[in-house]
A and B are shown apart, each in its own frame.
Chain A
Amino acid sequence: GIQVEQSPPDLILQEGANSTLRCNFSDSVNNLQWFHQNPWGQLINLFYIPSGTKQNGRLSATTVATERYSLLYISSSQTTDSGVYFCAVLPYNNNDMRFGAGTRLTVKP
């Protein structure tokens, strides 16, 4: 099946710093989503981005489907950005969305 690799596995930042999280996938995909799992365990939708670039406030994401990767940018990080960021991809012709192992982000004040 499709493999989803996220890097780095862990990231520690000072408040105000910028960061880039990466998601590589091993096959063509029909869909890609980025989620933030907050410290209370809730999975929050960040981006639905099978291709192209989107921005939402301090966050933006780019997916280059032909090269099988996606990037999540976090600018001017805040302590509330802490948590685990998941990339999830959907292989063609099914609804079995596959998650990466996540990047655990800690933003220190």
Chain B
Amino acid sequence: DAGVIQSPRHEVTEMGQEVTLRCKPISGHDYLFWYRQTMMRGLELLIYFNNNVPIDDSGMPEDRFSAKMPNASFSTLKIQPSEPRDSAVYFCASSPTGGLMNTEAFFGQGTRLTVV
């Protein structure tokens, strides 16, 4: 299996622009997670989906952030408008049926976002 695939690997954008991060989970995995990593806050969960349905978005920092999962093989995390404080590494992860209570999470390589 190719693992969790994220694109782009790096993104540099100007403040105020819309940014879209993409994720393809491991085939057959029912759970998909979006994490953000910063120096100040470490790794934190933003939102997760089960069977394409958002279950918990309490970690999404502001209304400027939105996430969708239109099908089992694709998810997006959108920031509109972007701000310099959104600069971070964004990770997508997936896990099989049963979620993390029964099995482990597998992470993509991350997208390093820089907002200037």
Q: What residues make up the interface of A, taking CB atoms closer than 8 Å to B?
A: 30-31, 33, 35, 40-43, 45, 48, 86, 88, 90, 93-97, 99-102
Contacts and interface: CB of A to CB of B under 8 A. Distances in A.
Nearest to B101: A30
Interface of B: 31, 33, 42-45, 48, 50, 55-56, 59, 89, 91, 99-107, 109-110, 112
Contacts of B55: 95
Contacts of A102: 42
Given A94-B56, A95-B56, A41 B101 contact: no
A97 B45 contact: yes
Given A31-B100, A90-B100, A95-B99, A41 B43 contact: no
Nearest to B48: A95
A56 to B, nearest CB: 13
Contacts, number: 56
Q: Which secondary structure dominates chain B's binding surface?
A: strand
Contacts of A88: 43, 105
A48 B101 contact: no
Contacts of A100: 42
19 contacts: A31-B100, A31-B101, A31-B102, A31-B104, A40-B109, A42-B109, A43-B91, A43-B110, A45-B104, A45-B105, A86-B43, A88-B43, A88-B105, A93-B101, A96-B48, A96-B56, A97-B45, A99-B42, A99-B43
